[in-house]
A and B are shown apart, each in its own frame.
Chain A
């Protein structure tokens, strides 16, 4: 009781002051406020934005934990300390403490930086502009560490998060007003500002960059290579991972994007809780499959030969696209962002389908950076209002027509 009363007194003390939003953000984190409904419905449903965002975070936690294990696993596998997994998803080579500890200490700082910098800026803007701290960043802050390479320098992440939150969101007026997905804005900023860091075969496994430097300085240790599957395919290298490895996520890649199995389960959880849009998830999957299938057909028809630089990715069996790279992660967590996505139910079908479709297209035709899902989602973010406009116009025209029939 004491805490509740004391916080209430503090809230009254801060009321109307500049610091009120900052205090309220912390206060409402502990207690849902004592505000009562005024002047509208007298009762309200149990959901608020915090609960909604929290649900998405819950769906992200498995990916985060898996990412920690995977970071360690990829590292120790690359340096040759352990053997590759043999026993399916629950292999002990993967799920051991050694892997986890390495990953934990690598990834925890990324999470702390992401939340620290991002929320810091959110608080700052809330205090300056006198609005409440919005919850949108709770999800963005969790997404960011999961979509960057494990060895990303901290300063780079700090700069990117600051850029993404300010330019991606705050200049538009905060959560609910932004046009581009903030997490992807951060990712895109990193990609275009530091391209050498965000692609290639040296950044996806912990220690690879370090080892390269050592070798350059005359060390005799073996180089660590951690090429992603997309990278291999784009350069028509052979891929030595089994389909199940890809599905389980025992592959190099951004921290949290690798395990399609967990992402699939999380996607089902989001659909079940009605927080994520099943329309977008389903249509994006369909879009990706259709585009992948078209490319398969092109290869089958013999229009593209093995000498083509597009051959590797075009000939990838169409449904494999869903389990490599960040495709699944993008579809489940990024494309479904309600603010930047299409807002009408019919629009969501078109929006999702085009994301899947364009993702695979970019993958195939952009071998320099074969991860197309980021760019596809950002592109469709820009087009979402246009899609909605035409969907809504359908309703408007129906209404006009109805009016004309009556008066004619």
Chain B
């Protein structure tokens, strides 16, 4: 049987401002901020207080419900501020970086020789566990579960996504170490997907089951691939890891150092010179954004992540823990005269209701953040299915989340989905319903009620 995945349903959103394949070193950031909200369902308990000195890779907080899951500092320096929100909830942990970086040494690990428990303990202690996510619920993996399979998508089909083939170049050794280690943690296979025509370094690794994916977005979403390869059933768990985080895991295993370095694509129509930068997790985005043509004080939105599932960040904000792309697009906070009935040529639509993007499938668009309409009840049917390749009824599962029927949510496939799987349906939604938020709330309800 062929391992290839071909999907037909979906939508490629082609935007202006794709990254040119050159990499620069970003100006080194002085401040780094970890945001616990990046780790969904984790309640942080601090290990250090304000004023403490930490080394790069040293744990600074752990999960309140499971002390073993630790989160480490990306740099060495001093914790200068704990930002708190309502009810003293920790919003950010700000670290001022040392001029000379020092690393906590976790020691090398010969992954071929050790057993699963050692690997697990090593990853947990060094903070690398945070990179491993699980389905159901799209949260950080529970260390006491054994996944039936591990999925890694080496192909990102999202709008303006970083070219993973490019950013993973030359990292074969790290990737292999990480794959070998992770392979010992599952009873099943490690499924790795690459683009149909890619020359990804992932393709040559041993210990994996390789899949070639093709089709429109969301073919590169790991959720799509899980659904096509080995969908999650009730009581089962699968793990997913971003390929760039494999590099960090691999480097830790090979050298003993937690190196938070990551190649990040700076993209979007507001960026004059979109390209790749070497930077670190949680660094200030201002170090890249404003040197590259984004107007200071301009009316732009900076997003850590892609335009579909990323988080909006302030101009003085920080790179998210899982993001490998920063997108800057214009804000759309303006009115448009008769925007609802005039013919539209400069926006994307999957209908043809006086919208003409179907005439120019290869055109790249400069979209802003305008809603292009108001929030409404669900009205249209059948349009989500056109962009939703999973074997799930999208409208019905969204509605079941809204009326909080746990049995129905379970029966319709909530264990298989993550919010990002509903990004495209949200994009095309005529009623402008917040699909990803609805799914996230549904998953959270299930965690609470079912666990």
Contacts and interface: CB of A to CB of B under 8 A. Distances in A.
B430 A35 contact: no
Contact of A51 (B309, B354, B368): B354
Interface string B342-378: 0010011111111101000000000111111111111
Interface stretch (A66-74, A256-264, A268-276): A268-276
B22 interface: no
Contact of B370 (A34, A177, A344): A34
B335 A41 contact: no
Interface of B: 13, 15, 159, 231, 233-236, 301, 303, 307-310, 312, 327, 329, 331-341, 344, 347-355, 357, 367-383, 385, 391-393, 395-396, 411-413, 423, 426-432, 434-437
B352 A406 contact: no
21 contacts: A39-B437, A40-B436, A41-B426, A42-B369, A43-B368, A44-B432, A45-B347, A45-B349, A45-B428, A46-B372, A47-B351, A47-B428, A48-B371, A48-B373, A49-B430, A51-B340, A173-B377, A175-B377, A176-B379, A344-B393, A403-B235
Given A36-B370, A341-B381, A392-B412, A132 B376 contact: yes
Contacts of A34: 332-335, 370
Interface residues of A, number: 65
B377 A134 contact: yes
A47 B372 contact: yes
A343 interface: yes
Nearest to A131: B377
A52 B380 contact: yes
Given A43-B329, A274-B383, A50 B341 contact: yes
Given A46-B348, A175-B379, A392-B412, A55 B354 contact: yes
A396 interface: yes
Contacts of A406: 233, 236
Interface centre among B308, B340, B412 (most CB of A within 10 A): B340
Contact of A176 (B15, B233, B234, B431): B431
Contacts of A30: 337-338
Given A39-B437, A392-B412, A31 B336 contact: yes
A363 interface: no
A8 B334 CA distance: 10
Q: By CB atoms of chain A within 10 A, which of B349, B374, B395, B432 has the most?
A: B374
A31 B423 CA distance: 26
A173 B378 CA distance: 12
A33 B336 CA distance: 7
B379 A338 contact: yes
A319 to B, nearest CB: 27
Contacts of A37: 369-371
A36 B352 contact: no
B411 A51 contact: no
B412 A395 contact: yes
Contacts of B355: 46-47, 51
A5 to B, nearest CB: 10
A392 B396 contact: yes
A46 B372 CA distance: 6
A33 B235 contact: no
Contact of B423 (A41, A50, A403): A41
Given A28-B374, A32-B336, A176-B431, A395 B381 contact: no
A41 B427 contact: yes
Interface centre among B236, B331, B412, B432 (most CB of A within 10 A): B432
A338 B235 contact: no
Given A45-B349, A45-B428, 16 more contacts: A30-B337, A31-B335, A31-B336, A33-B371, A35-B370, A39-B434, A40-B436, A42-B369, A43-B427, A44-B371, A52-B379, A175-B377, A277-B382, A344-B381, A396-B412, A399-B411
A338 B382 contact: yes
Contact of B335 (A4, A136, A173, A338): A4
Contact of A396 (B13, B335, B370, B411): B411
A102 B157 CA distance: 59
A96 interface: no
B333 A48 contact: no
A402 interface: yes
A407 interface: yes
A345 interface: yes
Contacts of B348: 43, 45-46
- Give the top 3 A-B pairs by smallest Cβ distance, nearest first: A48-B373, A176-B377, A32-B339
Nearest to B305: A42
Contacts of A33: 335, 371, 373-374
A47 B373 contact: yes
Contacts of A341: 381
B353 A274 contact: yes
A341 B332 CA distance: 35
B116 to A, nearest CB: 22
Contacts of A176: 376-379, 431
A275 B430 CA distance: 11
A229 B350 CA distance: 41
A321 interface: no
Q: Could you say which of A38, A47, A173 has the most chain B C-beta atoms within 10 Å of its C-beta?
A: A47
Given A395-B391, A399-B233, A43 B367 contact: yes
Contacts of A348: 382
B274 to A, nearest CB: 16
B349 A32 contact: no
A179 interface: no
A403 B232 CA distance: 8
A54 interface: yes
Contact of B340 (A32, A41, A400): A32
A39 B308 CA distance: 10
A42 B308 contact: yes
Interface string A119-132: 00000000000001
A343 B394 CA distance: 11
A161 B377 CA distance: 22
Contacts of A277: 381-382
Contact of A273 (B353, B393, B412): B353
Given A35-B371, A43-B13, A49-B431, A402 B336 contact: no
B83 to A, nearest CB: 20
B426 A36 contact: no
Nearest to B309: A41
Contact of A36 (B331, B380, B393, B412): B331
Contact of A40 (B332, B349, B379, B434): B434
Given A32-B372, A43-B369, A45-B349, A403 B234 contact: yes
Given A32-B372, A42-B312, A52-B379, A47 B233 contact: no
A23 B355 CA distance: 27
Nearest to A43: B367
A50 B13 CA distance: 23
B313 to A, nearest CB: 11
Contacts of B341: 50-51, 54
B420 to A, nearest CB: 10
